[in-house]
A and B are shown apart, each in its own frame.
Chain A
Amino acid sequence: MDKAALARALGSPATFGQSQFAFVRGHAFEARVKADGGTELVRLLHARLAGAAAAAPPPGPDDVRIPDLTAAGPEGRTARTALALREATAAGRWTLLDHPLLAMDVAGTPAYLEPDAVVVHPDGSWTVVEIKSFAMVDGSADAAKVGAAARQAAVYALALEPLAGRVASGATVRHEVLLVCPKDFSNVPDAALVDIRKQLATTRRQLGRLTGVADIAAALPEGTSFDLCLADDGRTPRRPSGELAEALDAVAPAYAPECLAACELAFHCRARARAEGSVQTLGRGARAELGGLTTIESVLAAAAGEAGDPDDPAVAALRRAAALRAEALAPCGAEPVPAARKELPCH
Chain B
Amino acid sequence: MSLIGTLARMEAVREGRARPLATVRHRHLAARPLVFVPLTTAGEAGAPLGALVGTERDAPRLLVVAQPRDRDMRFAFLAELADAMLPYVEAYGDAVEHEERKETDPETGRKVPVEVELCADAPQLLVPSAAGVEYVRLLGRSMRFRRTAEQDPDAPHPAPPRVPLLGRWLTHFGERAHVPGSSLLLAMTQLLGRHWATGQSALEDQHLGALLAWIDPPDGMPGGQAALRAELERDADGLLIHPPAGPATDPVFDNKRLAPAVTRYDRARTEALEAAPHRFAAAQEALADADRALRELLASQLRPTWDAVWHGVDLLRALPEGAHVAERWKRDRWSYTGHRDRVRAGEPPQPRRDDAVTAARKLAARETAQARLDAQEALDDPLVMAARRLAGEAFAGEVTEVVMEYTQAKVARPRPLVTLRTADGPHVADGATLHRALPDGRTQSAEFVAYGPGGTLTVRLTGGMGRGKVPDTGSVPEPGHHVCWTLFDHAPRGGPDLPDPEQTPWTHGGPPAAVAEAPDPVTAEDRL
Q: Which residue of A lies closest to B258 (CB)?
A: A21
Is the CB–CB distance between B141 and A137 below 8 Å?
yes
A331 to B482, CA, bound (A): 14
Query: Is B3's beta carbon under 8 Å from chain A?
Result: yes
Is the CB–CB distance between B23 and A328 below 8 Å?
yes
Q: Which residue of A lies closest to B238 (CB)?
A: A13
1/0 contact trace for B460-496 toward A, CB 8 Å? 0000000000000000000000000000000000000
Q: Is the interface of A mostly helix, strand, loop or mixed?
A: helix
Is the CB–CB distance between A258 and B203 below 8 Å?
yes
Stretch from B14-22, B83-91, B170-178, B293-301 forming part of the interface with A:
B14-22
Question: Which A15-39 residues have a C-beta within 8 angstroms of B?
Answer: 15-26, 28, 32
- Pick the contact of A325 from B45, B138, B240, B386 — CB < 8 Å? B386
Name which of A16, A317, A329 has the most chain B CB atoms within 10 A of its CB.
A329
A18 to B22, CA, bound (A): 39
Stretch from A51-59, A76-84, A228-236, A280-288 forming part of the interface with B:
A280-288
Stretch from A103-111, A151-159, A214-222, A339-347 forming part of the interface with B:
A339-347
Query: Is B249's beta carbon under 8 Å from chain A?
Result: yes
1/0 contact trace for B217-259 toward A, CB 8 Å? 0110000100000011000000010000000011110110011
Number of interchain pairs (Cβ within 8 Å)? 188
1/0 contact trace for A244-265 toward B, CB 8 Å? 0000000000000110110000
Could you say which interface size class chain B belongs to?
A: 35 or more
Is the CB–CB distance between A331 and B382 below 8 Å?
yes
Task: State how many angstroms separate the Cβ of B421 from the closest Cβ of chain A.
Answer: 15
If A286-B9, A296-B14, A336-B318 touch, whether A20 touches B390 (CB-CB below 8 Å) is no
- Pick the contact of A267 from B1, B232, B521 — CB < 8 Å? B232
A299 to B259, CA, bound (A): 49
A320 to B44, CA, bound (A): 50
Task: State how many angstroms separate the Cβ of A17 from the closest Cβ of chain B.
Answer: 4
A267 to B228, CA, bound (A): 10
A336 to B318, CA, bound (A): 7
Task: State how many angstroms separate the Cβ of A346 from the closest Cβ of chain B.
Answer: 6
Question: Which B423-438 residues have a C-beta within 8 angstroms of A?
Answer: 423
Is the CB–CB distance between B389 and A324 below 8 Å?
yes
A328 to B386, CA, bound (A): 7
A335 to B311, CA, bound (A): 17
Contact partners of A32 in chain B: CB under 8 A: 525
If A300-B11, A325-B7, A328-B382 touch, whether A346 touches B219 (CB-CB below 8 Å) is yes
Query: Is A131's beta carbon under 8 Å from chain B?
Result: no
Is the CB–CB distance between A324 and B203 below 8 Å?
no
Q: A22-B254, A25-B44 are in contact. List 4 more A-B contacts (CB 8 A).
A: A133-B43, A296-B10, A318-B3, A335-B19
Which 3 A-B residue pairs are closest in the complex by CB-CB distance?
A22-B43, A135-B45, A19-B42
24 pairs, A vs B, C-beta closer than 8 Å: A18-B251, A19-B42, A22-B254, A23-B43, A25-B42, A32-B525, A135-B44, A138-B352, A138-B353, A182-B44, A186-B523, A188-B523, A257-B200, A257-B203, A279-B6, A281-B200, A289-B6, A299-B7, A300-B7, A325-B386, A328-B386, A329-B23, A336-B318, A337-B196
